[in-house]
Each structure stands twice: as C-alpha cells, then as structure tokens.
Structure 1
Amino acid sequence: MKNHYFDPRGIVPSSESTSQGHTEVTFRMQTFSHPDEHKAMMEKLKISSKFDMRYRGLLEFYSDDLVAYKLKKGSGKHTNEFLRIFSYYLTDTLEDHCPSSWQECQSSFWEKFIFVHYPHDHMTISKKQRDSEIFLLQLRRFVKWLDQRTGTSWLKVVEQYEAQAKSELLHCEKLLNHLFQQAFPGIHQNDWDFEKILTSNTTNHNHYANNIQSIFQVKEVYDDVVTINDIDSDRVYQIVGMPCKLVKPGLLIEGCIGMKKDAFFWELWVTSGVYPARARDYFVFVDTKRQ
C-alpha cells in the first residue's frame, strides 16, 4: 500500500520516516527569565487556541503576527477559519522546513499554500460552494495587513496567484461537491446517516473485482469516457459514470477506482479530493509496507 505526501522541496514534515525506518523528531524548549514573559506566552496560547494553532507555533516567528491579526479582526468565522488553515500549513505541513521569517519566504511558499495545501487539506463540501472564494479573499486581506505590519511586499505575488487560482479552485470545489453528491445524494439532509453510508460504502467495495487507490490526472474526455493516468504508476485507465461536462484535462482526482467482474471500464467510487494540475509536482508516494 502506498501513501502520498508533499515533495521534500519545501513541504515535508520533520517526522518523515527515513529509508531505514527511523523517525526523526525535533524538540523545542522555551525558558522564561521573567514572570511577565510566561504571562505573555499564556495569553498568546489563549488567543491562538481560538484558531487551533499547535503549541509549537507559539515559538515560531509567525505566532505574534497571527495572534495580532486575530486580535485586530475579532471573532469572525471566516477569519478564524483562515487562520486555522494558515497555521496548520505553517506548523504541520511545513513544520521544520518553514522559513525563519516572512522576508525569507519565496513565492513558492504562497504557491504551495494556495494550489496544494488548501485544496488537499481544507476544501470542503457545502451547499453554497463558496469556500474557495472566501479563502482567497481572506488570504488577500491577511497579506495586505502583513505587508503593512512587517514591511514585506507579498501582496502583488499573492494577487497574481489569486488571479490564476480563482477559476481553478472554484472548478475543483464544484467538481468535488458534485462527485460527493453523486455518491451520497442525501449528504446535505439533516437526517443524513454517516455510519449507514460508511457501511454501504464498504459493501460497494466488495462489488468490484479490482480496486486502485491513488491520485489520477485527467488526460482526455471523450463522450462519456474519461481517460486518466495514475500519477504514481503512470498506468492509464478509462472510467465511466463521471460528470463529463465538469471534468477537464489536467485536473487531479484523488480517490479509489474499481472495476467489476467482466466489465470493460473502471468507475470512480470514492473521491477524497480534486486539485489543480500544478499541484502534481508536489506529491510523492511512499510504499508503507517497506517502512
């Protein structure tokens, strides 16, 4: 079985297993020379907990800025959600590979956040399907404030990525929602039973003679047949039952495809995520059996 994670060139956790099966863990310790320092740290902890930032983030350069932004913006739902997404990117995704200051960030820092981290870990299923739009708006507002506070000049870079990403992320969100609603028609109903659906999904798994779980890139759409390739093995498959009007060449679809006995085409029966084409370069697959 293989799992995927982000490319080490910028986004890989420090706890990544090595080829020898060992795990590297980094420990941090904070000492206080005055009671006021401890008091200030506890206040930061209290505020940062509102957007679920990990404790390790309190010791990093960005903690004061994220806390200050939270204090400035108050308890708005969209602000909290953005800070939760951004702090997760900094503390969990980048972890020990995070730059040491805003000035040391490169444009790829923002590119990965927008095109890879957000759709991979935070794109959601919703009735309004506006989460991507809200995310980009909140990002622009934060970076504008950050430039004014720290003297950086990231707004133009982020606005360029935003212009490129807006239509792509909105399309990914639309397709992701469609695929989920196609698989689970009652997902937005108040009485939707997740455990019942999970049991049904397990039964569906048994309907297929073959199953492949991976990230697939759309290569071609012809009539009602979608040709995809597994970005790990590079094998090509043809699937049916897809919303072909929404499926575009280049899109990445993470999930599980299955083929029934004596069937000619595959079917996508589990969807985990939909990503823009440019996210492909940031995925690496590892064989968990060897770890």
Structure 2
Amino acid sequence: MRLSAEFDMRHRGHFLFYGKDFIDYKLERSYDKDRKEFLRILSNFMTDVLEDNCPPSWKKCKRPFWEELIFTHLPHVMRITPDQKQVETFLSQLKIFIQWLDKRVGTTWFAVVDKYSKEAISDLKVCEQVLNTIFSKDFPQLHQKGFSPEQQIEIANQSFELCIKSRDSLFEVRSIIDQITVLTEFNTNITYYVKGLPTHLIVPELIMNGCIGRKSGTLLWEWFQTEGIYPQKGRKYLKLNS
C-alpha cells in the first residue's frame, strides 16, 4: 500500500495507529469541509510538530497532547477568514471527534478536551481577532477576489528597510499605553514600545510571534510581520528563538 504524500515515510508507525481512524472518520462524512480541515490540522500536529514524540496509540496520549494542540498548535496554524469562526469550528469538530474516538477505541478523553476547550475559547477568539485585524490592515483587499499580496508586501519591505534595528522573536504583551503596545522579548526580557497594533483588541499576557523594527529618530518600534498570536497557556509549548 502506498501512503499519500501528506504522510512522511518516517512517520509510518504513527500512521498505522491513527491513519485508519482518520480515514474511517472522514469517510463517514466525506463531503464535510469542516471535518476535513480539522483532520488536516490534527494530522499536521501529530506528524510535523510532535514527529518522533507522537504517542504510539490514542490510549498512550496524555493531557499535554490535547493542551498543546488546543493552546499552541491551533493558533499557530490559524487561517485568516472573513467570518473569524475557525476557533469555534475547530473546537466543535474536536469534541465531536473525541466523542467518536472514545466510543471507537475505549478512551476517556472527552471530559479533558471539553474542559480545555471551555478554558481556551475566549482567549483563542482574542488571538483570532488580533491576527485577522493585523492582516486586514496590512492587506486591505485580502478577502477580495483576485487578491494578490505582492504590492503590499513590497510596500512593507520598503518600510522595513528604513529600520536601523530589528528583532524577530517571541514577545509577551505587558500593557497598553494609549495606542502603544508594551512588549517584552522572551529571551532577553528587553521591553519594546510598539506602535501600529490593534490596541483595542490586544490584552496583557498575549503572546505575539513576529518581527519588529525601529527607524532612525524615533524611540517607538513598529510591528512588521506576524508569525502567530497565542494565549498565555500556550507559552510552555512555544520554542524560543535563539
């Protein structure tokens, strides 16, 4: 049997334990786009993120598996959508899948996943709103038919080239001062005062992964590139930049 391209050969062992479950679950509602997207995210988490640390079976999964999936991986792969419903859709799909899985293989994960989902939804919705707002500002025609980002990317690059200093890293929001977001960089604990972010949505302890730059003649930094927006509870699973 030839595995599809989405399953790397080095993960053959993992595929053997969860692959059939994924296929059977998908085939029950093969035209359900939400189910298909959910399985794509979960599969990506298990093969590309956990890699060789992926549990050998569903019964060997532990609480951190579901915690990292919800609080760190979901916001990392979150897509920009007009309705901003990806958080709600994913968590709903996850709970449906866990109910199905518990019955199929005899696990008892629903109570744990339901608890994490309830804890996470409000914080993840903030992450989703911040992410969408930043991208909508950087790419105003993002959701229009035929959108091409090249022009906006070129404008951003030209602005970034004027910076005399830059930092690409993970930051934690410390506070909001008027229209300024106060960020602390993970590795150095250096504080940066950043303009241009949606301060009406951003809250303290939010984690932001991206690039900032400072131009000559100003003390304020600007936010230039967004890699991810995370809730505080996802921090322990984030890999810090060197």
TM-score over 0.5 for the pair: yes
- What SS does the aligned partner of 1:87 have? helix
Tell me the CA shift for residue 55 of structure 1.
4.6
For residues 134-145 of structure 1, the aligned pairs below 5 Å read 134-145=89-100
Q: Which of residues 69, 79, 86 is equivalent to 1:113?
A: 69
Q: Matches of 1:140 and 1:57 in 2, distance apart?
A: 25
Q: Tell me the TM-score normalized by structure 1.
A: 0.78
Are the aligned partners of 2:41 and 2:74 in contact in 1 as well (CA < 8 Å)? yes
Are the aligned partners of 1:53 and 1:84 in contact in 2 as well (CA < 8 Å)? no
RMSD: 1.6
Are the aligned partners of 1:56 and 1:91 in contact in 2 as well (CA < 8 Å)? no
Give the number of the structure whose alpha-carbon radius of gyration is greater: 1
Higher relative contact order (CA 8 A, sep 6+): 1
Are the aligned partners of 1:218 and 1:251 in contact in 2 as well (CA < 8 Å)? yes
Say whether 1:84 aligns with 2:40.
yes
Q: Which of residues 46, 50, 55 is equivalent to 1:94?
A: 50
Tell me the CA shift for residue 195 of structure 1.
2.0
Q: What residue is the counterpart of 2:144 in the other structure?
A: 189
- What SS does the aligned partner of 1:209 have? strand
Q: Which of residues 107, 128, 132 is equivalent to 2:87?
A: 132
Q: Which of residues 13, 21, 46 is equivalent to 1:59?
A: 13
Q: Matches of 2:144 and 2:55 in 1, distance apart?
A: 43
| Partner AA of 2:191 in structure 1 | V
For residues 1-291 of structure 1, the aligned pairs below 5 Å read 41-42=1-2, 45=3, 52-60=6-14, 61-120=17-76, 122-285=77-240, 287=242
Q: Tell me the TM-score normalized by structure 2.
A: 0.93
- What SS does the aligned partner of 2:48 have? helix
| Partner AA of 1:59 in structure 2 | G
The alpha-carbon distance between structure 1 residues 129 and 286, as it changes in their structure 2 partners (threshold 3 A), is closer
Aligned identity (percent) is: 37
Q: What are the ranges of 5 or more consecutive residues in structure 1 without an aligned counterpart? A: 1-40
Are the aligned partners of 2:169 and 2:241 in contact in 1 as well (CA < 8 Å)? no
* Number of equivalenced pairs: 240
